[in-house]
Amino acid sequence: MSEVSFRQRVGALALVAPLALFIALFFVWPLVTVLKESVSDATVSHALPTMVDAAADWNRQSPPTAAMKAALVTDLRGIEDQQLFGDLVRRLNSAQAGFRTLLPKTRTAVDKSRETTAPEAVDLEEIDKRWSNPAYWQAIAGTLSPFTDQHLLAAVDLSRDGTGAIVALGADESANLTILLRTFWVSALVTLVCLAIGLPYAMLAAAMTGWRRQLLLGAVLLPLWTSLLVRTASWYILLQDNGLVNDALQSLGLTDAPLRLIFNRVGVVIAMAHILLPFMVLPIYSVLITIPKTLMPAAASLGAHPLLAFLRVLLPLSLRGVASGALLVFMAAIGYYITPALIGGAQDQMISSVIAFYATGSANWGMAAALGIVLLAATLLLYMVYGWLSSDKTARA
Amino acid sequence: MLKTLQVLFGAAAVFFLIVPLIAILPLAFTSGAFLTYPMPGISMRWFNELVTADAWRRSIVNSLVIGCGTTMLATVLGTTAALGLRGRVVLGGLFRTMFLLPMVVPAVVLGVGMQILFVRLGVANSYLGVIAAHTVVAIPFVVVSVSGSLEGIDRRVERAALSLGASPFTVLQRVTLPLAMPGIASGAVLAFATSLDEVVLTLFVAGPNQRTLARQMFSTIRENISPAIAAAAFLFIVGTLLAAAAAIVLKKQRQRRTGLA
């Protein structure tokens, strides 16, 4: 008997294995790649291998040691790959301005004296007196570790100064924190709009019977079935300056000139709320239909005003559905890319747009990955709360 | 008073939900060059554009190729895994969570990772890469759908077949799979729909040769909006309605079968 169950278990595992392997390869591995990319900074340590050992116990305060200077010369003479040298210059220049001219100049000079002077004998300060400035040496020492927190810090507008202390970036240097806060703000607005429409809608659907309930539920399910792109394109048509919404407003005499509804916050919130509304209605509805229909009449028969009965009976009972719905909507909203990209203006771009810009626009993988990690962490945290809420529900039921 | 308010709110909300889906459809038949009402006349010129313009035609073909590839891969992998997850598997809960997570993780983050990784693996800008990416996001739908229909199967039927001397493989082929077929089919429909509508991952992993219809629509809205969008949207909605009708028929079929059992 136990042998049979063992064989069954092995068989079951063999059935699960192909998908597990596929998911590991094409889902987990890409996410691990993002994580690695966000903390990896191997350019300098790769290009200056002897420097890594020479600067290992330098305290960054005293002048650079002779061993470090010799190591720099050795490493610069050793770089064959032009691409690697270019990467090195770019990486160091981003840590300390000036390397763009200093490094090529130094490399040419030490290459010229390759046959005549040993690395220990080269006088770097004579080649360029900037080498007497400790800031340049601090910059090199600060980038030698193959791992860095600079991208992750920059994702929340922080950086390290020459001595390694964490400082805030100036307002004009980075806008990531602004965009992060904007993402949360827009998502919160969308969640509120969804709640304001979704809660009464779900209550109405739960209170109705027959074809009315079918109609209300169908109206929620149909958009879920419709392509996201089609819905976004449709909102584009409705909201544009000479679109249907503006036509209607003008013919009703509510406005004289067309209202600006597209390429701004209003349009983004309307379109996203429409797209995410089903995720609010369905969880609330599924909680509401489990509430006995006799509760409200019972409250009324005991003399409660309908409003009081709603506030004290129906609303508390439906809160779990509200929390699930709000979490789902918020979680989906913070990762949205397509709708803000098509309906929003420059001031409405959310974190996903910035990630896409860093990745496809400027090929800054480190920054794209670091912002991605921030978004991923926020989403998974919300998902864990959601999972905890829904498992708690089954435990109680 | 409350009743009127309810009716008004219900009507307004249904209007808000449905009108944006309908508003775009008539514009597919406009004879003008702009996506605005009133339409200057009726014509099929934009559907004509879809099948004649090289960019649109290629993107439709690409969408079908990638959609079919994704559907096959996701359905086979997802159904096998759902069958395995039915028994008691070591770490079953962990596997299940892993298979559902692609629905949760923001597409942009996954896209960045795939772009970096696919270049290293040598599958960037290839059909294989795009199909793999689409399959990842289609898997949760297949696993949920097939698991649901497997749960509805009375295991005594399978045990009866086994006790009558059928081999486990015969039971799978003749009993389990036919009973689970509605779930498998609706999983496949959902996988195809997911692939058809996927834009973000496609932006990151597809090259110019793998431009899908959704990707083409995205850049058309962004760069030079034209009523071809509305014609493409019309095709999308008709396709969706057909898929939904198929799913409803399958569900009815399943209900009838379980009713018989």
Asked whether residue B260 carries a pLDDT value surpassing 60, the answer given is no
pLDDT by residue (tens digit) across B2-29?
Answer: 788 888 999 999 999 998 888 888 888 9
Please, is A113 exposed, middle or buried when counting C-beta atoms within 10 Å of its C-beta (0-12, 13-18, 19+)? Answer: middle
Q: Does the beta-carbon distance from B115 to A359 stay under 8 Å?
A: yes
Summarize pLDDT for A102-143 with one digit per residue, the tens: 999 999 888 888 888 888 888 888 888 889 888 889 888 888
Say whether B84 and A14 touch across the interface (CB within 8 A).
Answer: yes
Residue A24 in any domain: the answer is no
- Chosen domain end from A101, A124, A146: A146
* Residue at which a domain ends, from A131, A146, A161: A146
Q: With contact defined as beta carbons under 8 Å apart, do A244 and A237 qualify?
A: yes
Q: Does A296 touch chain B (CB under 8 A)?
A: no
Q: Is A26 on the interface with B (CB under 8 A)?
A: yes
pLDDT exceeds 90 at position B182:
no
Residues A335 and A193 in one domain: yes
Token duo for residue A90: 């770019």
Q: Does A85 reach chain B within 8 Å, measured CB to CB?
A: no
Kindly tell me if the per-residue pLDDT of A346 is higher than 70: yes
A157 assigned to some structural domain: no
DSSP B89-137: -TTHHHHHHHHHGGGTS-HHHHHHHHHHHHHHHT-TTSHHHHHHHHHHH
> Do residues A314 and A390 share a domain?
yes
Residue A8 in contact with partner chain B when CB distance is under 8 A: yes
| Confidence (pLDDT) at A261 | 85
A190-236: per-residue pLDDT in tens?
Answer: 999 999 999 999 999 988 888 889 899 989 988 887 888 889 989 98
Q: Which string of DSSP letters, residue by residue, matches A120-185?
A: GG--HHHH-GGGGSHHHHHHHHHT-SSB-SHHHHHHTTEEE-TTS-EEEPPTTT--HHHHHHHHHH
Interchain pair A30, B116: CB under 8 A:
yes
Query: From CA A86, how far away is CA A180, in angstroms rounded?
Result: 32
Q: Is residue A183 part of a domain?
A: yes
What's the CA dihedral at A34, A17, B90, B113 to 10 degrees? Answer: 10
Where in the sequence is the domain holding A341, given as residue range(s)? 176-396
- In terms of domains, do A184 and A51 share one? no
- Name the band, by pLDDT with cuts 50, 70 and 90, for residue B258: low
Phi first, then psi, for residue A373 (nearest 5°) are -65, -40
Residue of B nearest to A336 (CA): B106
Specify whether A199 is located in the same domain as A123: no
Q: Report the alpha-carbon distance of residue B229 to residue B240 in Å, rounded.
A: 16
Whether residue A142 is found in the same domain as residue A182: no
What 8-state DSSP symbol labels residue A335? Answer: T
Q: Decide if A6 is inside a domain.
A: no
Best of A2, A222, A237, A357 to substitute, by most chain B Cβ atoms within 10 angstroms, is A237
Pair A225, A77 in one domain: no
Give tens-digit pLDDT for A266-317: 999 999 999 999 999 999 999 998 888 788 788 888 888 878 888 888 888 8
**Given CB atoms, is B17 within the 8 Å cutoff of chain A?**
yes
Q: What value does the mean pLDDT take over residues A42-57?
A: 85
pLDDT at A389: 82
How many Å lie between the alpha carbon of A51 and the closest alpha carbon of chain B? 29
Number of folded domains that form chain A: 2
Residue A1's pLDDT band (cuts 50, 70, 90): very low
- Looking at A146, A161, A195, which one is the last position of a domain? A146
Q: Which of A36-45, A349-358, B120-129 has the lowest mean pLDDT?
A: A36-45
Structural domains of chain B sorted by starting position, each given as residue range(s) with its CATH number in brackets: 56-260 (1.10.3720.10)
In this complex, is the C-beta atom of A33 within 8 Å of any C-beta atom belonging to chain B?
A: yes
Nearest CA in chain A to B233: A230
The pLDDT of residue A3 is 57
Whether residues A105 and A201 share a domain: the answer is no
- Please say if the pLDDT value at position A2 is more than 70: no
- Mean pLDDT, residues A252-275 taken together: 87
What's the whole-number mean pLDDT along residues A19-45?
A: 92
Does residue A381 sit within a domain? yes
Looking at the DSSP assignment, which residues form a beta bridge with residue A166? A160
Q: Indicate yes or no: CB of A219 within 8 angstroms of CB of B112.
A: no
Q: Does any domain span residue A152?
A: no
Higher-confidence residue of A53 and B88: namely: A53
- The answer to whether position A5 is within a domain reads no
* A288 plus A364 within the same structural domain: yes
State pLDDT tens for residues B225-236: 888 989 999 988
Taking the model in full, what pTM does it have? Answer: 0.86
Q: How far is B87 from chain A (nearest CA, A)?
A: 6
Q: Do A30 and B98 touch (CB under 8 A)?
A: no
Q: Distance (Å, rounded) from C-alpha B99 to C-alpha A244?
A: 42
In the stretch 96-155 of chain B, residues with CB closer than 8 A to chain A read 98-99, 101-102, 104-117, 132-133, 135-136, 139, 143
Cβ-nearest to B108 among A200, A222, A356: A356
The pLDDT of residue B257 is: 63
Digit-coded pLDDT (tens) for B137-168: 999 999 999 999 998 888 899 899 999 988 88
Residue B29 CB contacts under 8 Å (≥ 6 apart), including other chains: B39, B42, B43, B44, B46
Model pLDDT, residue A396: 47
Residue of B nearest to A217 (CA): B14
What pLDDT shows up at residue A305? 83
Q: Which residues of A touch B19 (CB under 8 A)?
A: 238
Q: Nearest CA to B28 among B249, B244, B236, B208?
A: B236
Do the Cβ atoms of B24 and A234 come within 8 Å? yes
Q: Do A85 and A188 fall within a single domain?
A: no
Task: Look at residue A207 in the predicted model and tell me its pLDDT.
Answer: 85
Tell me the C-alpha to C-alpha distance, in Å, between residue A217 and each of A157, A223, A234, B71.
Answer: 45, 11, 21, 28
Verify that A75 and A125 share a domain, yes or no.
yes
Contact flag B17-A337 (C-beta cutoff 8 Å): no
Structure confidence at residue A181 (pLDDT):
92
| Closest chain A C-alpha to B259 CA, distance in angstroms | 22
Chain A residues with beta carbon closer than 8 angstroms to that of B79: none
Residues with Cβ within 8 Å of residue B217, at least 6 apart in sequence: A229, A233, B229, B232, B233
State both tokens at A145.
């570790």
A 10 A CB-CB count for B146 gives: 28
- Looking at beta carbons, which pairs linking B45-53 to residues 24 or more positions away fall under 8 Å? B46/B226, B46/B227, B46/B228, B46/B230, B46/B231, B47/B231, B47/B234, B49/B226, B49/B228, B49/B231, B50/B228, B50/B231, B50/B232, B50/B235, B53/B228
B258 CA: distance to closest CA in chain A (Å): 23
CA distance A271 to B9: 19
- Reply yes or no on whether the pLDDT at A73 is more than 60: yes
The pLDDT value given to residue A395: 46
Do A188 and A322 sit in the same domain of this protein?
Answer: yes
The mean pLDDT value for A166-192 works out to 87
CATH number at residue A388: 1.10.3720.10
pLDDT value of position A53: 86
CB atoms near residue A381 (< 10 Å): 11
Are residues A267 and A122 both part of a single domain? no
Tokens 């290009």, located at residue: A47
- DSSP states along A283-332: HHHHHHTTS-TTHHHHHHHTT--HHHHIIIIIHHHHHHHHHHHHHHHHHH
Residue A256 lies in a domain: yes
